[in-house]
Amino acid sequence: MSTASGNEERDINDLFDDITLAENHLVEASYKEGFAIGCQEGNDEGYRLGYAQGIQLGEELAEIFGRVVALQQQETHTERVKRCLEQLRTSIESFPRDNDPEADIIGAVENIRILNKKLLVLTGRAKGSTSTEAGKAEKKDLSF
């Protein structure tokens, strides 16, 4: 009989513990539920943000690649421009197309942007640069 009363006492103690710790159990369960929901929403938001930035990067690289291909079809370039065009095309073609955690995507993008700026300067298409012909055309338009 002593074993039965020992189990009853332990059960009663467990009941009292459950009653006194009910708020703690509720808080812990709510925290776990909220954490799981937050993780899922964070994953969804991260996916959307990454997808949007991937689209922007793809558009930028496509625009640069299109310019490179168009300029390579012209024959009137100096050796420096031809070298820059080839480097830029090679850099874009070797850009990782899969999500490789070991790939240096940021470094590759920076390199492509630097080469693109160099190309724009070499071909006289840089923003803010004025060629002598454009300056003459502006002067002709302004003279009365």
Asked whether residue 131 is domain-assigned, the answer is no
What pLDDT, on the 0 to 100 scale, is given for residue 21? 81
pLDDT band at 138 (very low <50, low <70, confident <90, very high): very low
Predicted confidence (pLDDT) per residue in 103-131, tens digit: 888 999 999 999 999 999 988 887 654 44
d(CA 37, CA 48): 17
pTM to 2 decimal places: 0.62
Q: Say if 142 falls within a structural domain.
A: no
Residue bearing the bigger pLDDT, 141 or 24: 24
Counting the structural domains of the chain, the total is 1
- CA-nearest of 58, 85, 87 to 70 is 85
Q: Residue 77's domain spans which residues?
A: 16-123
106 φ/ψ angles, rounded to the nearest 5 degrees: -65, -45
Residue 59 confidence (pLDDT) above 50: yes
- Note whether residue 77 is domain-resident: yes
